[in-house]
Amino acid sequence: MPEVPTRHARQQLGISEPPDQVGGEGKLDDVEVLTQMVEARRLDITGDYHRWLNIGFALVEGLGEYGRDFFHRLSQYYPGYSEAEADKQYDKCMRAHGTGIRLATLFQYAKEEGIVVRSRTANGGLAEVAEIEDDGKRMPTFSRELRGKLPEMVEAIARNGNSEQDADVLILGTIVTLSSCLPHVYGIYGDRPVFPNLFLFVTAPASAGKGRLTLCRRLVQPIQDQFRNLFNQDLEKYRKERAAYEQRRKKDPTVKAPREPVRKMLIIPANSSATMIYQILAENGGAGLMFETEGDTLANIFASDYGNYSDGFRKAFHHEPISYMRRKDREYVELMQPKLSTVLSGTPRQIAALIPDAENGLFSRFLFYYVDFQLTWLNVFSGQGDALDETFDAISHQVLALYQQLQQSPDIRFSFTSAQKRVFNTFFSRAQRQYWKRLGDTFIASVRRMGLITFRMAMVLSVLRLADKKEHPELLYCSDDDFTSAMTIARVALCHTVRVYRELTCRELAHPAAEGAGRKQELLRLLPDEFDTAKAQEFAIRLNIPRRSAERYLADWTKSGALEKVAFGRYQKRIEMPGRAGHDGETPEQVGGDDDFNW
């Protein structure tokens, strides 16, 4: 595709400016800023064919041939994007005359997706800054709703958030990290015992702020240090016993050799072989925490022959038995109830590297949080960096004390109250139906496992309230505050999971070997609320879906209840579909909202 030279390059080469610009460079620079924001948030603002056509007309009217590159850049996030088709479309727009579509149309479409570009120009001069705002269509957050309801330990951490999203990440990071170190705590879910352990993946474009998640690792560092100190003590004792053994066995060959100490560790390095991961878990009594700030680390290990423990990873989420052969002595070992917690962060591309498709069992096991790109410069000289580390370190000693108390306590069984169970079942029953109609079968596993994740989150919050108590009950009922907090997080997390799901699905659709089921669900998502057969075929062509397949899909959706046939050749969706990729912000009220549940 043609590449438009930068302003400086055009000046050096003597290339004339776009002929239709009013105010010289202003329009070109504003479109560049808008396009960069679209690329940073990986938004598809092209909508349906009519909207895509108008974007082409707008760019032609405002920038002429200079708009072609922008047209490609703005079209690239549509799942059926084709460079050749986009070029052909722009050629048609160039040949059209008198369309009446101005460049303002493009900015209006961007505004509808949450991007506002305000050009400050005066007397034709270029402003130093183009102001970009978000008009509220960002991913939903939950930290504001939870203020005053969280256990003090978590509340103290949330207060250090520099934004609502940052507070969300700190809360989730704390809950999932601490889920790894709550021994002797369990609950009954689906007639089976489950433990607090959770999997979290915080994803965002590069430099969007997910790095602060690493602060949560400090919360369990004293436990890790305790394991290391105990091992060093045992190792020193072993060395002395081994030396004595070597002397004694010269006189008495029947004397037994001392046993080597077991190296326990809470934090397990992801960059390990499968056998090593399982062995560490076994030596820890099945428990452990994997904490990696680059999702590629785990993805690269899974891609290797020696480190592909993705199967064990999936089993660990449900505490299913894992068996392996120890290299030493070829010993057969069974981990009957692995209790693994995982905290990962990375870019959307790193999710795709770790979880190649949405039907992979790993996807539904993760609690996802998508950090929006924000064009905000934070004061890096606020002087609070050391204080923040100290805050987490101080709380980490409370975590260690609670861990030691729980180690010495009898088992604690966690449970919802009868009223909470009714609300929980009602919410997830409705959520399952609605998300099935919106996204199809492949997303149902995420909704169902979100129920288990919610139960575990409530368990963690409830146990953290025991930090200041000397006696721990054998039966721990969830407080209403902790139930409300867990359900609120779940409602928001479902929206974030949809966002990640859609991006992952779009990557699948862009691949030549994309599965037909993925294309089918994408077609349903793209169709407007009311449409006719011709419109459905138009979208099907863009997704490379054969005509007969599209007709069969319409019949399937009508039969399943996702569509209603309102007239011959005309259909209506039974439920509103979520927005396009970029702000899939189903509000809590859209799935079992506050009218149904008094939280």
What does the pLDDT look like over 468-523, one tens digit per residue? Answer: 777 789 999 999 999 999 999 999 999 999 888 877 776 554 444 344 556 777 78
CA-to-CA separations, 128 to 119, 131, 210, 224, in angstroms, rounded: 9, 10, 29, 50
CA distance 579 to 571: 19
CA distance 146 to 155: 9
Asked if residue 180 lies in contact with residue 289, where contact means CB atoms within 8 angstroms, the answer is yes
Asked if residue 549 lies in contact with residue 516, where contact means CB atoms within 8 angstroms, the answer is yes
Asked if residue 69 lies in contact with residue 2, where contact means CB atoms within 8 angstroms, the answer is yes
Q: Give the model's pLDDT for residue 330.
A: 65
Among residues 384, 493, 496, 501, the alpha carbon closest in space to that of 443 is found at 501
Identify any residues that bridge with 320 across adjacent strands, giving them in sequence order: none
Low-confidence ranges of the chain (pLDDT < 70): 1-26, 118-137, 206-210, 303-307, 325-331, 373-386, 506-518, 574-599
Asked if residue 350 lies in contact with residue 203, where contact means CB atoms within 8 angstroms, the answer is yes
Q: Give the model's pLDDT for residue 100.
A: 78
- The amino acid occupying position 52 is W
> How many degrees, rounded to 5, is the angle at CA 241 between CA 262 and CA 243?
120
CB pairs under 8 A, 24+ apart, for 396-401? 396/218, 396/219, 396/220, 396/221, 396/222, 397/222, 398/153, 398/467, 399/153, 399/178, 399/181, 399/219, 399/220, 399/222, 399/223, 400/222, 400/223, 400/226, 401/467
CB atoms within 10 A of CB 116: 16
Q: The whole model's pTM is what?
A: 0.65
Asked if residue 566 lies in contact with residue 574, where contact means CB atoms within 8 angstroms, the answer is no
Q: Give the model's pLDDT for residue 32.
A: 82
What domains are defined for the chain? Answer: 7-133 (no CATH), 143-247+259-369+384-502 (3.40.50)
Alpha-carbon torsion (176, 180, 185, 188), positive or negative: positive
CA distance 181 to 394: 17
Copy the structure tokens of residue 422: 């009714």
Q: Give the model's pLDDT for residue 221.
A: 94
Measured N-to-C along each axis, helices 385-408 and 221-248 cross at an angle, to the nearest 10 degrees, of: 60
Listed in sequence order, the residues at least 6 apart from 164 whose beta carbon sits closer than 8 Å to its beta carbon are 141, 143, 144
> How many degrees, rounded to 5, is the angle at CA 342 between CA 276 and CA 267?
50
Copy the structure tokens of residue 484: 């409300």
Copy the structure tokens of residue 238: 């072993």
Measured N-to-C along each axis, helices 83-95 and 49-63 cross at an angle, to the nearest 10 degrees, of: 60
Where are the strands (E) in 542-584, listed by range?
563-567, 570-573
CA-to-CA separations, 578 to 49, 555, 557, 585, in angstroms, rounded: 18, 22, 17, 8
Q: Give the model's pLDDT for residue 36.
A: 80
CA distance 422 to 501: 29
In the chain, what is the straight-line distance between the N-terminal and C-terminal CA atoms, in Å?
54
What does the pLDDT look like over 173-223, one tens digit per residue? Answer: 999 999 999 999 999 999 999 999 999 999 987 666 667 889 999 999 999
Asked if residue 146 lies in contact with residue 172, where contact means CB atoms within 8 angstroms, the answer is no
> What dihedral angle (degrees, nearest 10) is formed by the CA atoms of 63, 65, 70, 76?
150
CA distance 524 to 50: 18
Copy the structure tokens of residue 27: 């329009």
N residues, the chain: 599
Identify any residues that bridge with 132 across adjacent strands, giving them in sequence order: 117
Copy the structure tokens of residue 19: 């002929």
SS3 call for 112: helix
CA distance 415 to 334: 29
- The amino acid occupying position 307 is G
CA distance 464 to 17: 63
Q: Give the model's pLDDT for residue 382.
A: 62
CA distance 175 to 171: 6
SS3 call for 377: coil
- The amino acid occupying position 499 is R
Q: Give the model's pLDDT for residue 377.
A: 64
Among residues 62, 85, 57, the alpha carbon closest in space to that of 72 is found at 85
Q: How many helices (H) and strands (E) does the chain have?
A: 21, 15
